[in-house]
Amino acid sequence: MPFEVEFRNVAGEAAAIGSAGPYTLVADRPADGGGRGLGFNGGQLLYLAIGGCVSNDLFREAAARSINLDVVRAVVRGDFSGDPAVSEPISYDVELSGDAAPEQLRALVEHVDAIAEIPNSVRRGTEITIERVKVARSSG
């Protein structure tokens, strides 16, 4: 099912409210980069998207296998370099516990790594295009 998200800056600030349906978050540039450091920057959001996808998929796939998970922790790390800056290789760690044998839990993680939408989108280089640009001179 397609979905849409939106970012809209807050009253002349670099900070923006991101929304997806009823859910929101704050994105901002770091203070030393011209923002106020009020929220996540784009790189953090990318890495959070990877970790969030892995976490959600672990719960979904565990339920499909009748495994109850007690602890799910995904730690995603990487950095950005170059001009324009692009992500260097991204890695992540998974910690989980549940009511299944360690071999079953490890197989679950390997399965999720193979099917998780966001990691696979990044790995396969999903095309991104600008469809429309609307500009206007401000009145102020």
Residue-wise pLDDT for 81-138, tens only, equals 999 999 999 999 999 999 999 999 999 999 999 999 999 999 999 999 999 999 999 8
Instruction: Note the pTM of the prediction, 2 decimals.
Output: 0.90
- Is 87 in a helix, a strand, or coil? strand
Domain 41-126 has CATH 3.30.1240.10: no
pLDDT at res. 140 = 66
The 10s digit of each residue's pLDDT in 49-66 is: 999 999 999 999 999 999
Range 3-25 average pLDDT? 92
- For residue 78, is pLDDT > 80? yes
pLDDT at res. 1 = 77
Q: Please, are residues 138 and 73 in contact by the beta-carbon 8 Å criterion?
A: no
First to last CA, the chain: 41
Per-residue pLDDT band for 139 (boundaries 50, 70, 90) equals confident
